[in-house]
A = this chain, B = another copy of it.
Amino acid sequence: MFYHVKDLQFNARVSAPNPRFATLLLEQFGGPNGELKACMQYFIQAFAARKPYPDKYDLLMDIATEEISHLEIVGATIQMLLNGITGELKEVEEKSQIMELLGKQDKMDDLIHTALINPQFLVLSGGGPRLTDSQGVPWQGSYVNANSDLTVDLRSNIAAESRAKIVYENLMQFTDDPLLKETLGFLMTREIAHMEMFEAALANIQPNMPPAIRQGDPRFTNLYFNLSNGKKSYRGLWNEGLSINLKEEWQYIDDPVKYVKETKGLTKTEIKGTDRTKDSNKKIEKKLSNTRSKEIKNATNKVPMQWSESSYS
């Protein structure tokens, strides 16, 4: 259950209206890396975590709730940046105020650009935020990633926060309003804080690589296919020496066409550079299956089912 307090989590202010920046800022209101995406992603992931992993559920809901509070901050900022439009639109006499403005230099520019760059602020939303990205594409449920496995979900969240962070960083390049910049700085910083939280939660689950249960076929985890050719093919940590997590030795396939032919479409590949075997895999999978499956089943297998804690007190 949610509650709302009318004051914002952060005291968002702007020095003056700026419909152009409002357009840019829509990116974090209804865009693919914006606050609604973050909120919904953690909120939805939380359902599967609720019973078996109450600590991670708490983390996810703490952050989801902060993100919708940030959505409110972004929306409020957009509304302030658009200040003036709604009132102007209500002046409909013969020679409208807006048309007069169009004849004057200063505000005209802002209005024309707003009208044409983001026409919907004027003709559709009438001066309020819309649930779209900065180019008018509506927010979509497909922005949300939730796979009911924390070793996957937390990685999705780390990546999502890192994208949200760089978008705020980019946005900060386009304003000199110190009040606005302070709000953007706060929001950008919180993405970093959330990254730290999600990384800690992921580290707290062991093993987490590979994510989920199944282990990789030892014939294929350490092959590197050199499929893009030119003057030089580069070598680096990612295709020579040992791999970072599994500590297997990279097998660099210099001529993949030839290799695929010789191995009959890789089916004749032999295990190299690793101690893992089909059997060692199976052992790990069995153990992991038991643990994770049990954690989940123990926490969820009662009927009738009730979501809330038993007593409501």
Shortest C-beta distance, A160 to chain B (Å), equals: 8
Q: From known contacts A140-B138, A147-B124, infer whether A220 and B186 are also in contact, taking CB-CB under 8 Å.
A: yes
How long is the Cα–Cα vector from A132 to B32 in the complex, in angstroms? 13
When the two chains form their complex, are residues B188 and A216 in contact, meaning their CB atoms are under 8 A apart?
yes
CB contacts (< 8 Å) of A43 on chain B: these are 72, 75
- How many copies are assembled? 6
How long is the Cα–Cα vector from A162 to B245 in the complex, in angstroms? 14
How long is the Cα–Cα vector from A126 to B54 in the complex, in angstroms? 18
Set B2, B33, B54, B152: member contacting A68, Cβ < 8 A: B2
CB contacts (< 8 Å) of A236 on chain B: these are 55, 59, 200-201, 204
The 19 sampled A-B contact pairs (Cβ below 8 Å) are A1-B5, A1-B256, A3-B228, A5-B230, A9-B225, A13-B307, A16-B304, A23-B116, A32-B145, A47-B129, A48-B127, A73-B307, A89-B173, A92-B173, A92-B213, A92-B285, A162-B211, A172-B214, A265-B312
CB contacts (< 8 Å) of A232 on chain B: these are 54, 58
When the two chains form their complex, are residues A116 and B166 in contact, meaning their CB atoms are under 8 A apart?
no
The chain B residue sitting closest to A168, CB to CB, is B214
When the two chains form their complex, are residues A86 and B48 in contact, meaning their CB atoms are under 8 A apart?
yes
When the two chains form their complex, are residues B6 and A266 in contact, meaning their CB atoms are under 8 A apart?
no
CB contacts (< 8 Å) of A122 on chain B: these are 24, 170, 173-174
Identify the 3 closest CB pairs spanning chains A and B, nearest first. A11-B265, A135-B136, A6-B230
CB contacts (< 8 Å) of A55 on chain B: these are 234, 236
How long is the Cα–Cα vector from A246 to B43 in the complex, in angstroms? 26
When the two chains form their complex, are residues A166 and B128 in contact, meaning their CB atoms are under 8 A apart?
no
How long is the Cα–Cα vector from A229 to B6 in the complex, in angstroms? 6
Mark A121-164 against chain B: 1 for CB-CB distance below 8 A, else 0: 01111111111111111111111111111011001101110110
CB contacts (< 8 Å) of A144 on chain B: these are 130-131
How long is the Cα–Cα vector from A155 to B245 in the complex, in angstroms? 16
When the two chains form their complex, are residues A136 and B136 in contact, meaning their CB atoms are under 8 A apart?
yes
How long is the Cα–Cα vector from A226 to B120 in the complex, in angstroms? 33
How long is the Cα–Cα vector from A156 to B77 in the complex, in angstroms? 25
